[in-house]
Structure 1
Amino acid sequence: MPNNISNTALLLPSIAHANVPQLTVDLILHTFPFVKVRSLDSTFLYPFASPVDHAQGATQPEGFSSALDLYVCEELGLSLIQQRAPVIPSFQRNFHSQLMKFIESSNFNKVVLLDSKDYAYIGGFMGNCPTAIYAGESTEQELDSLLRKLTINEAEAEESPNRVVKDEEAEIKDTFTDTVSQLVLSLKEKKISTAALIGYIYEGDNSPDAKIMAGKVAKLLSLPFDGEWKTPKSWSGVYGSRDVPRSMEDGMFG
């Protein structure tokens, strides 16, 4: 394993509701100068291969993307994994074990997990993409600081849509999806510094939700974000980003 990922933080998305964790990682990957380290073993994922994605207006890179790719930005001290295919049913435990072995052997200084669930889990309306965060055995002062970092603006602060998840197994399992809660508990057992962020969202055009979550990740990790996310080429023509067709030549659905 290359030394350039050692002692970096690892950002890891789950395959969850509306794919917002993956979309969030897409934005971070294409906004900052990440380089691909290698493809990871994707034996337990559905097969996947595609041309390498790139930011709008950038040159098409050579090579291909796989179901599980590892990237690093040494300037930020941040590594990330983009998972582009779900785990094959009945192989979740195998994948979990494989992922834990990789994390343990890579000497990351912190692991940040991204997750998402349906908005219906919280009931009522609490602003766009309200979140909950797990931060391990943090002090009350540290947790207060985390909540301030996750607040986008004063109006959101008044609604208080962000909350802290207690460092208790029952609450961790109740808050996060099975995949993420099991990772949190395993990382905690191995005494690996861990944070987990979950967003509550509706299905639909989820690019705005991804940008909100990416903004919260940027604050959480103190990334030098200038306010404009670079979207990948693969987003072109989806998520409401293309013109509505005006003639039958465009086809019934454009």
Structure 2
Amino acid sequence: MFVPCGDSAPNLKGFTLLMPAVSVGNVGQLAIDLIISTLDMCKIGYFYTDCLVPMVGNDPYATAEENSTELSINAEVYSLPSKKLVVLQIRSIFIKFKSKSFCEKLLSWVKNSDFAKVIVLSSSHSSHCDDLQLGGTPFRYLYTPSMQKNVQNKIKSLNWREMESSPCIPEIEDSEPCIRIPGGGITKTLYDESCSKEIPMVILLKFVSEGDNIPDALDLVEYLNEWLYIIKRSCEDNHTRSALRWKIPSSWRLLFGSGLPPALF
């Protein structure tokens, strides 16, 4: 499934894998874009899979005319060895009934690569929040049992809120409680499969609505940065100043299209 750019697969043992879930508002994917762009990560390979809708386009992180013609596809892998960080970016939706197959193949690669941990950036419909979730922070986390002893103390010190259980059938209050992530795409499947396969995984998500979700992506990477310190933080940072530290990819100029043609008027 993973195809390296070079002649041999890189040694990723002990690295942290960051990846998005294709979820409401594409918040996870936008957040991953910010991380790749800001850290100027190098592409080390791609995923060859029939589970995603095929796509090809120009390099979304091009910084000059010379590399603007390089091509990108639907699932690519980037790395920053100095931080022992690997990032998988997913750029298209799943083909119907193939998302579970993708999760199984992905987690098999995770096992074979011997990653230290996997962090999934995701989002969930704010319109589906219950009364308890409507109060306080819109951010939530989940971690698998094999990850608990590694992050429990750190997360407690950050005062983060764990994703609450809610009735499996929302219309029936007495139904068995479970973790529900409406609009979260493969988030729940990845979490369940990682629990059963004893893969150390953390899910970080935000409750959002569809629209201009760039502010949500900036919020999510700041949330992640509280834990991983991907870029330097200052105790004096306010939201505006910290947002300026993240490098906006060149492809975001066309995030909402190329504008209205003057001939229209």
Measured against the shorter chain, the TM-score band is 0.7 to 0.9
Give the 5 Å matches for 1:80-159: 80-122=87-129, 130-137=138-145, 138=148, 141-147=153-159
Task: Give 3-state SS (helix, strand or coil) of 2:224's partner.
Answer: helix
Pairing 1:5–2:35 present: no
Output the aligned Cα RMSD: 3.0
Change (3 A) 1:251 1:74: farther
Task: Give 3-state SS (helix, strand or coil) of 1:230's partner.
Answer: coil
Give the 5 Å matches for 1:4-23: 4-23=11-30
**Corresponding residue number in structure 1 for 2:5:** none
Alignment partner of 1:27 out of 34, 48, 54: 34
**Aligned residue pairs: how many?**
233
8 Å CA contact 2:51–2:95 kept in 1: the answer is yes
The letter of the residue matching 1:163 is R
CA offsets 1:21-56 (integer angstroms, 9 cap, x no match):
000000001000311011111211101111111266
Give the 5 Å matches for 1:15-94: 15-54=22-61, 60-61=67-68, 63-94=70-101
Task: Give 3-state SS (helix, strand or coil) of 2:192's partner.
Answer: helix
TM-aligned CA deviation for residue 223 of structure 1: 1.4
CA distance, structure 1, for counterparts of residue 178 and residue 36 of structure 2: 27
CA distance, structure 2, for counterparts of residue 21 and residue 172 of structure 1: 23
CA distance, structure 2, for counterparts of residue 26 and residue 181 of structure 1: 22
8 Å CA contact 1:116–1:200 kept in 2: the answer is yes
TM-score normalised by structure 1 residue count: 0.79
Unaligned runs of 5+ in 1: 148-161
CA distance, structure 2, for counterparts of residue 30 and residue 172 of structure 1: 36
TM-score normalised by structure 2 residue count: 0.76
CA distance, structure 2, for counterparts of residue 250 and residue 56 of structure 1: 30
Pairing 1:202–2:209 present: yes
The letter of the residue matching 2:77 is L
Alignment partner of 2:262 out of 245, 249, 252: 249
**Corresponding residue number in structure 2 for 1:229:** 246
Change (3 A) 1:100 1:205: same
% of aligned pairs identical? Answer: 23
TM-aligned CA deviation for residue 4 of structure 1: 4.0
